[in-house]
Amino acid sequence: MYVSDIDMLSPRSLQECLYLLENEKASFRLLAGGTDAVVRMKEGKWQHDCWLNLKNIDELKFIAIEKDEIHIGPLTTHQEIISSPLLRDHADVLVQACREVGAAQMQNMGTIGGNIGTASPAGDTIPALFVLGAIIELTSLTGKRHICAEDFFIGPGKTVAFPNEIITKISFKIRGKHDLGIFQKLGPRKAQSISIVNVAISLSMKEGTRECTGGRIAFGSVGPVVLRAKKCEAMLALGELSPDMIANISRVAWKEVMPISDIRASASYRRDMASALLERGLYRLMKRWADDERKPF
């Protein structure tokens, strides 16, 4: 089959798109920014009859706040997330993750829905969505499902979405004044590189102290899906996040991740780096917390 045989339909509304997905006989692939999908097509991995181009569906592009929840449309590009003042205030960890995706060209083309849809264990927005406790909305002609980000991915490139479903919304609670987050990534090159290891951290701090009341840590590229480091998380609230405590937590991360060796890095290097990135991330967060509070600890 030639690439030139693949047709394209560009629905104008979500309803029209869902209808095509359900009723047309052709085999479809959804196309957003194309930065993953077109590469797959060129590699000959995808031989479908028709693209469903989502780019004209304006109702899937939004960043909105409603009461204490933030909603992001799947067609929102990484660049739009980076430049949103709302997200900068309320979802710093996601903004930082999007900054790490590819370079300018990829940030202008690539979308958050596409990053989720690709479901790479190294996808940069995914750990951020884990620590934000994001909910992913799937819509089909017959209804909607809301799935917690952590339950959404079941393996490399595999999600719980059915072929007739589209990601239509990503939502999470806004962060409070004492919440702060960070995203750290190690890649072979500064721009355009796939993560060897990445980590997203979010902490809820107790005012005026170095004590953390709870937090989440999610590692990417160290297992078949992004994983929460629950043992490390449990240690966050044990006492002051002193340099010793941070070093201890990072040592536990070394054991908790389950990386494999592949062309990008060996498993043991990944373990070391997971631990180092977590340690660095926690230090940086504590530094920021101290600066924000303008109180020397």
Partner 1 sequence: MKTIDFFINGTEISITCSPSKTLLDVLREDAGLTGSKECCGKGECGSCTVSLNGLPVCSCLLLAGQVHGQNIVTVEGIGTPENMDPIQQAFIDEGATQCGYCTPGLIVSARSYLNSIGHLPGLDEIKQALGGNLCRCTGYTKILKAVQTAAQRLLTFREL
Ligand X SMILES: Cc1cc2nc3c(=O)[nH]c(=O)nc-3n(C[C@H](O)[C@H](O)[C@H](O)COP(=O)(O)OP(=O)(O)OC[C@H]3O[C@@H](n4cnc5c(N)ncnc54)[C@H](O)[C@@H]3O)c2cc1C
Residues that bind ligand X (CB under 6 A): 29-37, 39, 54, 74, 100-102, 106, 109-111, 113-115, 117-118, 123-124, 166-167, 192-194
Identify whether the C-beta of residue 18 lies closer than 8 Å to the C-beta of residue 141: yes
| Closest distance to partner 1 from the beta carbon of 47 (Å) | 11
Contact residues for 103 (Cβ-Cβ < 8 A; gap 6+): 191, 192
- Binding partner of residue 124 among ligand X, partner 1, none, CB cut-off 5 to 8 Å per kind: ligand X
Based on its alpha-carbon atoms, the radius of gyration of the chain, rounded to whole angstroms, reads: 20
212 scored as a contact of partner 1 (CB under 8 A): no
Contact residues for 284 (Cβ-Cβ < 8 A; gap 6+): 182, 184
> Based on CB atoms, which residue is closest to partner 1, 2 or 296?
2
Interface with partner 1 in residues 100-159 (CB under 8 A): 102-106, 108-109
> Based on CB atoms, which residue is closest to partner 1, 31 or 236?
31
- Binding partner of residue 104 among ligand X, partner 1, none, CB cut-off 5 to 8 Å per kind: partner 1
Closest CA to 61 of 44, 45, 74: 74
- Binding partner of residue 194 among partner 1, ligand X, none, CB cut-off 5 to 8 Å per kind: ligand X
Residue 270 CA from chain centroid, whole number: 19
Q: What is each CA distance from 214 to 186, 220, 232, 238, in whole angstroms?
A: 25, 20, 11, 9
- Contact residues for partner 1 (CB under 8 A)? 3-8, 10, 31, 34-35, 38-39, 41-42, 51, 53, 55, 79, 102-106, 108-109, 190-192
